[in-house]
Amino acid sequence: SSGINAEYGDITAEEEAEEMRREEVQSGQQQELSNLVRQGDYPAAFALSLALGMPYKCLTVIEKIQEEEDALKDIITDLASDQVDTLLGYIATWNTNSRHTVAAQRVLHCLLSSAQFPRLAADTKLKHHWEALIPYTERHLERWTRLQQQSTILSYTWSRMKLTQV
């Protein structure tokens, strides 16, 4: 006998109650996020989607404010380091899908052109995000370059065809 008296009890009900409380809180926060988006309060919706860990809801908010680049810059300029870390992870994820590339690159541009970029570039915690962005960004650049070349060729061909018809 080691002199240790261990008392065991069934805490299943307590764990279930805690899980239910967490789900209610999360449901309330998701409803609040939907309301913020519906009301057009994009800065608050953006911050809440980052806090809730909802990358595609965050993408939806960004797509809604894409036309207002100054608004996007203002939102991104005010981010704390941990929020930037989360956002860079989202950008890397979005960047892997060509449908989301424009939004991802626009947010990345805002980050790179912000006043806090020197601090972000020196942050070793963020290095893996920067490295993850490079391959897909290069791939998208190559694709955009090919599309631009094809567009130029098509435009030239069309203009030549119009001249020969005259």
CA angle 120, 123, 127 (to 5 degrees): 95
pLDDT digits (tens, 9 = 90+) for 98-153: 888 888 888 888 888 887 777 777 777 777 777 777 777 778 778 878 888 888 88
Per residue, the 3-state secondary structure of 5-24, as one string, reads: CCCCCCCHHHHHHHHHHHHH
Virtual torsion, Cα 124, 129, 130, 136, nearest 10 deg: 160
pLDDT at 163 over 80: no
pLDDT at 19 over 90: no
Instruction: Give CA–CA dist 122/34, Å, rounded.
Output: 35
Instruction: Give CA–CA dist 33/53, Å, rounded.
Output: 12
* pTM of the complete model: 0.68
- Of 53, 122, 57, 135, nearest to 92 by C-alpha is 135
